[in-house]
Amino acid sequence: MKRVVVLTGAGISAESGLKTFRDSDGLWEGYNIEDVATPGAWESNPELVQDFYNQRRRSVLEAVPNAAHYALAKLEEKYDVTIITQNIDDLHERGGSTKVIHLHGIITRSQSGIKANLTYPINGWELKMGEMCELGSQLRAHVVWFGEAVPMIETAAQICAKAELFILVGTSLAVYPAAGLINYVPRNVTKYIIDPTIPTTTNNRMVEMPYKATVGVPMLIDELMENDV
């Protein structure tokens, strides 16, 4: 089966009603990102940060996958599909995709405050202060904050290097290191970009599809299912 790698960003989740990570006003749900998404914020006001991610988690659990999520899952019927997502929600999994790499963590899990790879499932939407990991550290959202390493980036780069077809959905290629993953895809591999605003790249063999994810992804997947591209 041909190896297809899909890199998704905030645009695909936005169509399920989830706010993008950084809106046009530079805020996320009314907060300065520096106040809720950095190690320093957690150190200075952990209650605020915990509450912020509890509310984001509740929004994620209330959201449902959209047509783009379901279409990508359908692609597995004919292709070996790996999804690399910048999103912290679980909509790809709930949409039926079976191989999903979360570059920036997943909000439905918690992690140790002192050992990032020590993670636990969260029962419901609320993670409370006083809930500790087995090492005695306060549990926090399993989300990569600004200023923290992106532990899955090397794995993602290796997967991109083996891609035989590459699809980019709902991302402006503005957030690094995730934006650099397209440069690991072999230059002779066909690349599809689905977004209302097509980001500027220097790659060749680029097929531009200036649509929202819920329109462009089902359109492309129907084409791929009918023809071995």
- % the chain with pLDDT above 90: 80
The domain in which residue 40 lies consists of 19-62+105-143
CATH of the domain at 77: 3.40.50.1220
If one compares 204 and 16, the residue with the highest pLDDT of the two is 16
The mean of the pLDDT values for the chain is 92
The answer to whether 102 is a known catalytic residue is no
Are 125 and 221 part of one and the same domain?
no
Are 115 and 97 part of one and the same domain?
no
Residue 23 CB contacts under 8 Å (≥ 6 apart), including other chains: none
Note the pTM of the prediction, 2 decimals: 0.93
Are the C-beta atoms of residues 181 and 157 closer than 8 Å to each other?
Answer: yes
pLDDT digits (tens, 9 = 90+) for 21-35: 665 555 577 788 889
C-alpha 91/C-alpha 83 separation (Å) is 12
Are 3 and 27 part of one and the same domain?
no
Are 115 and 53 part of one and the same domain?
yes
Give the relative orientation of helices 67-74 and 213-226 as an angle to the nearest 10 degrees.
20
pLDDT at 176: 78
Q: Which of 92, 124, 143 is the last residue of a domain?
A: 143
Are 53 and 72 part of one and the same domain?
no
pLDDT digits (tens, 9 = 90+) for 81-126: 999 999 999 999 999 999 999 999 999 999 999 999 999 999 999 9
pLDDT at 28: 73
Are 118 and 193 part of one and the same domain?
no
Are 226 and 213 part of one and the same domain?
yes
- R_g of the chain, CA atoms, integer Å: 18
Are 157 and 71 part of one and the same domain?
yes
Are 34 and 82 part of one and the same domain?
no
Residue 16 has pLDDT above 90, yes or no: yes
Are 70 and 129 part of one and the same domain?
no
Are 5 and 55 part of one and the same domain?
no
Are 44 and 133 part of one and the same domain?
yes
Which of 69, 102, 104, 142 is the catalytic position?
A: 104
Q: How many domains does the chain have?
A: 2
